[in-house]
Structure formats: C-alpha cells, structure tokens
Amino acid sequence: MSTDYYEVLGVSRDATDEQIKKAYRRMAMKVHPDVAQSADAHEKFKQINEAYETLKDPQKRHIYDRGGDPNQMGGFGGAGGFGGAGGFGGAGFDFTNLVDAMFGQQTSRGPRSRVRRGQDALVRLQLDLAEAAFGITKSVKVDTAVLCTVCNGKGSADGSEPTRCSTCHGQGDVTTVQRSFLGDIRSTQPCPNCRGYGSVITNPCHECSGEGRVRASRSINVKIPAGVSTGNRIHLASHGEVGPGGGPAGDLFVELVVRNHEVFRRDGDDLEMVVKIPMTAAALGTEVTVQTLAADRPDDDLGEPEVRLEVPQGTQSGTRVTVPGQGVPRLRSNGRGDLGVTFMVQTPTRLDDEQRELLRQLAELRGENSVEPSVQKHGRGMFSRLKEAFGGHD
C-alpha cells in the first residue's frame, strides 16, 4: 500500500490508541473542509478518516502493519463506508459522530448533595512568655458557622422536604445544544434553578435561609502544652465550620503567638536576662537575688521563683553565669533549659565632692591617673556578650 497511515496522522508506529485518537482529533480540526477552505481539503479529510479507521481497530492495524489490505475485511471501502454512496456530505454522514470523536461524549454528573463538610478555620492566640513556657488552658473566641438549631441542618421550615426541580427534573444539570460548522455541540452545566442539587427548598428555614447553618461566636477551651513557641499550632478536630446542609464540621487550628517579656529573652529552651550591678559591687564582690520566670506564676508550683547568685570580686561587664534547669520546659522531652544571667557593671554618673575625691585617691593608689587605652581584640569579648544578652547578633 502506498499511503503511510502513521505519517498521515503524524504518529510513530508504536503509538498507543490514545495517542492515535488525539492525533486524529487534531488533524481533523485542522483539515476539515469547512475550516481549511482549500481545493484538496475533502481528499485530505477523507485520507485522515481512512487512516484513523484503520489504526484504531486492532485487527485492521495488525493486517496493515503486516503489509496487508485492511479494507479486504469488508469495512471502510464497502458500500456503506466513507468512499461509497453515503460518503462525505451524503445521507450516511453524521456530524454528531464527528463531534463526539473530537470532544468526547459528555455525560450527566447527577445532582450534588446539599450536605458537605465544612471548611477548616484558623485563629491566632497570644500568650505571655510564662503561659507558653509552663502551659495553660485558655478560652478562644471563634466566629464561625454552627448548626442551625431551628431546622437542625435540613434547611427547610416546619419539617418540610425539598421538592424535585422542574427545570432539570432532578438531574442537577441541564444540557444545551449549540450549532456550529461541525454540527451540534452539546454542553452540560449545573442547573441554574436548583444550583445543581436536583431539588428546591420551597419553604426555607427563616433562621438559616435554607443553608442549614448560621454564623455565631463561640468560646472553646484550648489546652496549651508547656514549652510551645511562636508559630506552633494546636489542632482541634471537628471544631471548625459546620458544613452546608448541617454537614460535618471542619477542623480548627490555633496558631500561637508569644509576646516579648520585659526581662527575659528566649533562646530555644534557654532564657537570657541582664542584671545591672554597681561598679563597687563588681569590684568587691557580692551576692544578688534574681527572680526566675516562675515568679510570673506565683500560685503554681513551677520551680524556684528566685535564685541567689554570687558575684565574684572583679566581675566585668558581660560576664555570664548559667543557672541550670531554670529555663523553658522542653516541649517534646523531659527537663528544662537553662537560665543565662549576664552582669552589666554600671559606672556612676553623679558624684558629690566626697565621692569624687575618694575615687581620685583610689585611682592614685592604683596608678590609674593616666591610663593608656587597651584595645580589645576581635572575638567573643565583653561587647559581644552584652550585645547577645540584649538580643543582638555579632
């Protein structure tokens, strides 16, 4: 045979049935006589149909691939085929079949249910640092959709039932037919009268207007575990919006936001704080009492509310000491982080004459009347530690 059907459709010899079908649709739209408007359009269109009729049939394709003539099977070239008396444009040619081959047969989707699952909801909850560290149960106000108690989600008043839609006859969708040069093109859309439900609520509930749900505010108690931080979410199943038609509720997600503390800075499970001490106390040494984060929750047994720290003689600004186990409880394991305390030595700014004289005498005794500056080499020195303590970075 002189005609290469694979070349006509522009496919390879190992093309699948789906690839052959897509190629035929593409070529048929391209060379259809009503589109191409060329002298040989009829002949090309006939050739494309002949190639498709052969290659779509497994038996005919097998015979063609072996060099035989598939038309000897009494198919395409017979009296009832494309080349017979009922050829292109004749009484035997059906444009609807061509459209179905190109666009596929559209079928009804059927009525959709009025009862559907509700959407998930997200709310944000602000916590103090102590609440996030030690856990707490808080009430969250949620503006959401709840079940209509008047109709109990049915949407109809007085116990009445929805009636069958007269437009789509209960199918939920309607089919329209549009004329084109390819014939009748059918399209299926949701019924505009019943919105695809197949039924109409003729006597809707006065409370929910047929939705089966209403908007309302409700409060939910949320248990916050110890050790949470900003960005953590609490998942509450079936606490979201009730669905249309009284459908099952979605889920509620509570996203946590932890406020900054006026004393403590959180670093993972550790806490950092800065304690100011006088210059004289730093030079001579002393003891200081500092409050821990547990002091913010005095009524709960959350550990020591205060600790006593020793300040050694000659303590410099930026000196940091660690108090084990006074940080934040670990969220997914036992134990707590540590409390880091950084000392900042304060230099007096207001001196009376007596104090100024005493300091001058001290300077003379220490040979510090004239001091050459000592440059701090780059590294993790005093300024670096102070900057970190105040929340900065090197």
Residue 29: the pLDDT is 77
User: What are the φ and ψ backbone dihedral angles of 134, each rounded to 5 degrees?
Assistant: -105, -5
The annotation status of 290 as a binding-site residue, yes or no, is no
pLDDT band at 344 (very low <50, low <70, confident <90, very high): very high
Residue 66: the pLDDT is 79
pLDDT band at 335 (very low <50, low <70, confident <90, very high): very high
Query: Chain-wide mean pLDDT for the chain?
Result: 84
Residue 234 burial by Cβ neighbours in a 10 Å radius (0-12, 13-18, 19+): middle
Residue 78: the pLDDT is 38
Residue 100: the pLDDT is 46
The annotation status of 322 as a binding-site residue, yes or no, is no
Average pLDDT over residues 172-185: 79
pTM of structure:
0.63
pLDDT band at 90 (very low <50, low <70, confident <90, very high): very low
Q: Which residue has the higher pLDDT, 295 or 61?
A: 295
Average pLDDT over residues 347-367: 91
Average pLDDT over residues 317-331: 96
Whether 94 shows a pLDDT value over 50: the answer reads no
Q: How far is CA 71 from the centre of its chain?
A: 58
Domains 5-103 and 265-389 share a fold: no
**β 173-180/213-224 pair status:** unpaired
Could you count the other beta carbons within 10 Å of the beta carbon of residue 300?
12
Rounded CA gap, 325 and 386, in Å?
22
Residue 83: the pLDDT is 38
Residue 67: the pLDDT is 74
Q: Which residue has the higher pLDDT, 85 or 126?
A: 126
The annotation status of 205 as a binding-site residue, yes or no, is yes
Residue 195: the pLDDT is 92
Residue 249: the pLDDT is 95
Domain locations in the chain?
5-103, 115-153+210-259, 265-389
Concatenated DSSP letters for 336-352?
A: B--EEEEEEEEPP----
Concatenated DSSP letters for 264-278?
A: -EEETTEEEEEEEEE
The annotation status of 287 as a binding-site residue, yes or no, is no
Whether 17 shows a pLDDT value over 80: the answer reads yes
Residue 136: the pLDDT is 96
As a whole-number percent, the residues of the chain with pLDDT over 70 amount to 81
In the numeric block, which tokens belong to residue 176? 């329209």
What tens digit of pLDDT does each residue of 206-243 get?
999 999 999 999 999 999 999 999 999 999 999 999 99
**CATH second-level architecture of 265-389?**
Sandwich (2.60)
What tens digit of pLDDT does each residue of 23-65 get?
888 888 777 766 666 777 778 888 888 888 889 888 888 888 8
The annotation status of 194 as a binding-site residue, yes or no, is yes
Residue 205: the pLDDT is 96
Considering the four listed CATH numbers 1.10.287.110, 1.25.40.10, 1.10.4080.10, 1.10.10.200, the one that applies to the domain covering 5-103 is 1.10.287.110
Alpha helices in 125-251 (DSSP H): 129-134
Instruction: Give the range among 124-138, 152-166, 170-184, 257-271 with minimum mean pLDDT.
Output: 170-184
Rounded CA gap, 210 and 95, in Å?
45
The annotation status of 148 as a binding-site residue, yes or no, is yes
Q: Which residue has the higher pLDDT, 43 or 386?
A: 43
Rounded CA gap, 174 and 169, in Å?
9
What tens digit of pLDDT does each residue of 18-34 get?
898 888 888 887 777 66
Q: Which residue has the higher pLDDT, 388 or 46?
A: 46
Considering the four listed CATH numbers 1.10.10.10, 2.70.98.60, 1.10.8.100, 2.60.260.20, the one that applies to the domain covering 115-153+210-259 is 2.60.260.20
Whether 9 shows a pLDDT value over 80: the answer reads yes
Whether 96 shows a pLDDT value over 80: the answer reads no
